[in-house]
Amino acid sequence: MYSYLDAEFVGGTFDGNQVARSPETKYSFTASYHVPMAGGSAVDFKVTGAYSDELYMESSNTDISLNDDYFTWDASGRFTSADGRWDLELWGKNLSDELIVVHSIDGSLGGTVALYAPPRTYGATLNYYWN
C-alpha cells in the first residue's frame, strides 16, 4: 500500500502548518510464504515492512511534536500441526527497534509528554484449538 498526502492548513492560527498526524508519504508491504509438509502439517513465514514520512503530532508544528520518519519490520514463522489442533508461532515486532512517538502533548506551562510505541519485541505463541 502506498499513500501520498500534501495537507496543510489554509488561514487561521496554523496557516501553512502540516495537518497533525498526516505524513506526506507512507507505505507498507507484506510477503508471506506457505510450505506444506509431509503428513499434513505446514510452516508459514511472514514479513511486514512499513514506512512513514516525518509528521507532526500537533497542529502547532512545534519542534517537540515532530516525529522523524521511520521504517519498521515485523516477522513471524508458524508451524501448524497436521490435525490443525495446535500451532506454534515465533514472532518479532519492530525488529529495526525504531523509536516512534505515538502521542505527544506540548503543555502550556512548558512541559512535554511523549508516549512511545513498544521497542523491539519478540516471543513465541502456542495455540491449542478445542474443536
Q: What is the pLDDT of residues 72-112, one digit of tens each?
A: 999 999 999 999 999 999 999 999 999 988 888 777 777 77
Task: Let me know: does 50 contact 75? Beta carbons within 8 Å.
Answer: no
Domain that holds residue 91: 34-52+66-128
23 part of a folded domain: no
Q: Comparing C-alpha atoms, which of 73, 54, 86, 58 is closest to residue 122?
A: 73
73 part of a folded domain: yes
Q: Which three cell numbers stand for residue 128?
A: 491449542
45 part of a folded domain: yes
pLDDT in tens, 113-126: 888 999 999 999 99
116 part of a folded domain: yes
Q: CA triplet 49, 53, 57: central angle to 5 degrees?
A: 115
- The whole-model pTM stands at 0.82
